[in-house]
Every structure is written in structure tokens, then in C-alpha cells.
Amino acid sequence: MRWIALILLVAVIGVAAALYGMVAGEGEAGPGASVAAGGASSAGKVIRQVPDWSAALDRHTPPKAVSSVAFADAQGRPITLADFKGHGVVLNLWATWCSPCVREMPSLNRLQAALADTGVRVVAVSSDREGMAKVAPFLAEHQLDKLAPYLDPKGEFTRSMEARGLPQTFVITADGKIAASYSGPAEWDDPALVAAVRELVR
């Protein structure tokens, strides 16, 4: 009788294991499953599909004043947004530890390339505490060759811009006013956004 009970016990365990595997499998995305909003898709999109990215911008009417707090350039020299006066600016606040920022950076690199003939500057200010020691290798590794490193290791400039989180991007006019902003990662090289930036920075 003992061997019969043992066989029954093994059979019950086997059925239970099979049922568990079926239930657990229902919660796992297969190879063809879509990526949730906020993740990178196979097409390289940083977040979701947006019919009109330019309409997603938070436009400021009238435009707002920018911060006068300094951040640093690659040589550690203090610099402010006033130093870019006369040029439109796409100011991006980011960090290497921020995964949405990392996904967004290639589109900002392409945006700078697209706007090379306009004088518009993409100014990406990192809040990494390690400064150039962290940012320079990151830019090189990801081949972000159009973006100059700007640093805010103490976060003072980032806080002065009243950022809601990272990444946060501001479109700034040539006379130094915030015309629009966007919280979160965006497809900055999307044709609609490129056209909107060209228009807003005037």
C-alpha cells in the first residue's frame, strides 16, 4: 500500500507543478509581446507613439524667464543660460542613472544635428555627482558626438529650473525666455518636434 500512496503523491505533485507553470506563464510577455509605455520598442522609440509630438509640448504664454543660476562646462568653468543669448536653446536636464534620460539622449543628439544650420544649441545638463568622470565616458560610449557635456553635480541649477523630475526639457527663445517645456522622454528628432523647436526659438 505504501508504494501505491507514493505513486499517487508523485502524480499529484506533477499535476500541481504543471498547473503552476501554466498560470505563471500567463503573466510573462512572449517574444512578440509589445513593450509597455515608457519602455523602448524594437523600433527604437523612447516611449509611446504620439500622433503629434508638437502638441504634447507645454507652451508658456507669455514665455517665462530662465534661471540665472550657473552650471559648468566641460572644463569646470561656470556658465549660465545668459551665455547662450542670441541662440535658441533646447535645455535638457538629465543624468546617466536615469533610464528614461538614457533612452532619450540619442534623439537629442540627432536634434542637434538637424538644427546645426540654425544656431540652435542643445544644452544637456547632467546632474551626475561625479561630473565629467561619469558624463564624458557615457557620451563617448553612446556616440553622442553632437552634445557638449554640461554639469550640475550639486543639482543647484536643476532645482532652480523647478524641474518636476528627470528628464525635463525646456525650449528657450533666442532672447532667453522659456517658450515651452516637456516632462519625461520625448522623440526630439520627430519632424513635428523639430519644426516646433524651429518656430518656438525665434
Domain borders along the chain are: 53-200
Instruction: Check whether 175 has a pLDDT greater than 70.
Output: yes
Cell numbers standing for residue 201: 526659438
Question: How many Å apart are CA 91 and CA 176, to the nearest integer?
Answer: 11
Instruction: Check whether 35 has a pLDDT greater than 70.
Output: no
Residue 160 neighbours by CB under 8 Å, 6+ apart: 67, 68, 69
Cell numbers standing for residue 115: 538644427
Instruction: Check whether 6 has a pLDDT greater than 70.
Output: no
Distance of CA 31 to the CA centre of its chain: 25
| Amino acid 28: pLDDT | 30
Spatial contact of 71 and 91, defined as CB atoms under 8 Å apart: no
What is the residue-wise DSSP string for 22-67?
HHHHTTS--TTPPPPTTSPPTT--SS---S-HHHHSEEEEEEEEPP
Question: How many Å apart are CA 185 and CA 104, to the nearest integer?
Answer: 5
| Amino acid 50: pLDDT | 84
The neighbouring-strand residues paired with 123 are: 91
Angle between the 99-114 and 191-200 helix axes, to the nearest 10 degrees? 70
Comparing 180 with 14, the larger pLDDT belongs to: 180
pLDDT in tens, 118-174: 999 999 999 999 999 999 999 999 999 999 999 999 999 999 999 989 999 999 999
Instruction: Check whether 191 has a pLDDT greater than 90.
Output: yes
Instruction: Check whether 57 has a pLDDT greater than 70.
Output: yes
pLDDT in tens, 43-55: 355 556 788 889 9
Sequence letter at residue 118: T
Just give the CATH number of 53-200. Answer: 3.40.30.10
| Amino acid 119: pLDDT | 95
**Prediction pTM value:** 0.78
Distance of CA 138 to the CA centre of its chain: 14
